[in-house]
Structure 1
Amino acid sequence: MRPDLVIFDCDGVLVDTEPTSNAVLAANLTRHGLKLSTEDCMRMFTGWSMANVEKEALRLGATLPENWMEEIYGEEFDALKKGVPATEGIHEILDRLDALHLPYCVVSNGSEDKMAITLGQNGLLERFMGAIFSAHTLKTSKPDPALFVAALETFRVEPSRAVVIEDSVLGAIGAQRAGISCYGFAPHHDGVDLAAAGASIFKNMRQLVSLLNI
């Protein structure tokens, strides 16, 4: 079935930001008393909003300053500004969707400021202008399905006629709760956790040509 709306996650789906962001997070939390590696942070926090990361870090024993959110975003943005690549094949997929006049959007637990940096570097930001749904703006985050519901309502598409492209368990759960089919992008691992959350696993972005019938 060709969908009427394709909903993309941002980090790890449109752009390969996770290694950079989690390296910064690991260094920061280690400095504040919670010794974690980049791999630990990727396993624990991929797809999380930073507000929820803060709550979990405090629960685990980190000693964070009152301005921690400002601090971590400043460090992360500085690192991201040095350059992160677009996911291989994503421009080709968007070109196909444009040719079919098939709408798409981005739904992310990240902030719009962050997406302006990461998507803006790769010629992707302009492709999603007017179609960005951020947890920071809407004051909710995955796995709450409200972000996905907002996208459906904006494009006037029923859940059964949309698909979500995700790389995080939280995103896959949110899609499932919204009643939307989810494809789990797992280029670097087996995707067992995504599959357990209801996602159909794929490894290469160009596979969406056949998966979405585009």
Structure 2
Amino acid sequence: MGRPELVIFDCDGVLVDSEVIAVRVLVANLARHGLALTEADAHAMFVGGTMANNAEVARAAGADLGPDWVAGIYAEIYAALRDGTPVTKGVPELLDRLDTARVPYCVASNGSEEKMQITLGQTGLWHRFQGAVFSAHTLGVAKPDPRLFLTAAGDVPPETCVVIEDSPTGVRAAIAARMRCLAYAPEGDGVALAGLGAEVFTSMTDLPEMLHLTRA
């Protein structure tokens, strides 16, 4: 595959370093509901899933969660994200390269549009994705279902799209959509993602070459 016709970004953990914040809030919240987890445990159990599904996973693991838990945890996470969510190093420069190469891009997330407005808005990225934001909350279909990515692609053939992901859920959705998937694993823990069919990279500075943006 040469230069893509469309690049589809996941949001949390790819464009912004928000997952660390969300996991920390989740661990503290679940501890109050009778489920003690390390941040590593919570990351493995919950990252990439929808919050409704996370609630079921937590209940199955022993958490005593009420019917309003999802709304409550969202409020806690959003408040923490508003306090400061850093952009992933190298992302603004990568978007500049895509703009120069005239390669369109969008964001497709299992998170809500409100959450993306919070995280991308404070990092200066929100305006760069205007008209190109796809949320599972809005569309009613979430990863690993490939329809989120297929909807984001629109009329662009799937085989000409590249998805940038960081979770098994997202990788599965990209592969099911027949899209090339590049998996961001900055801590060097991408073996599982590679096993699902993704090409692993560890720095956003790796992407211009992988996306063939270095060619004239």
Identify whether the pair has TM-score above 0.5, normalized to the shorter chain: yes
Paired position in structure 2 for 1:175: 174
- What is the rounded CA distance, in whole Å, between the counterparts of 1:138 and 1:51 in structure 2? 15
Deviation (angstroms), 1:169: 0.5
Counterparts of 1:27-38 in structure 2, within 5 Å, are: 27-38=28-39
Paired position in structure 2 for 1:196: 195
- What is the rounded CA distance, in whole Å, between the counterparts of 2:32 and 2:188 in structure 1? 29
Paired position in structure 1 for 2:56: 55
- What is the rounded CA distance, in whole Å, between the counterparts of 2:64 and 2:45 in structure 1? 18
Superposition CA RMSD, Å:
0.8
Consecutive unaligned residues in structure 2, runs of 5 or more: none
Consecutive unaligned residues in structure 1, runs of 5 or more: none
Q: TM-score, normalised to structure 2's length? A: 0.96
- What is the rounded CA distance, in whole Å, between the counterparts of 2:39 and 2:130 in structure 1? 31
Counterparts of 1:57-72 in structure 2, within 5 Å, are: 57-72=58-73
Aligned-partner SS, 1:213: coil
Aligned-partner SS, 1:118: helix
Counterparts of 1:38-187 in structure 2, within 5 Å, are: 38-153=39-154, 156-187=155-186
Deviation (angstroms), 1:189: 3.0
- What is the rounded CA distance, in whole Å, between the counterparts of 2:50 and 2:205 in structure 1? 28
Deviation (angstroms), 1:122: 0.5
- What is the rounded CA distance, in whole Å, between the counterparts of 2:140 and 2:59 in structure 1? 21
Q: Moved runs in structure 1, 4+ residues, more than 4 A?
A: none
Aligned residues: 212
- What is the rounded CA distance, in whole Å, between the counterparts of 1:27 and 1:189 in structure 2? 26
CA contact (8 A) 1:23 1:37 kept: no
Paired position in structure 1 for 2:209: 210
Q: % of aligned pairs identical?
A: 53
Q: Deviations over 1:141-166 (max 9, x none)?
A: 1100010110112xx21011000000
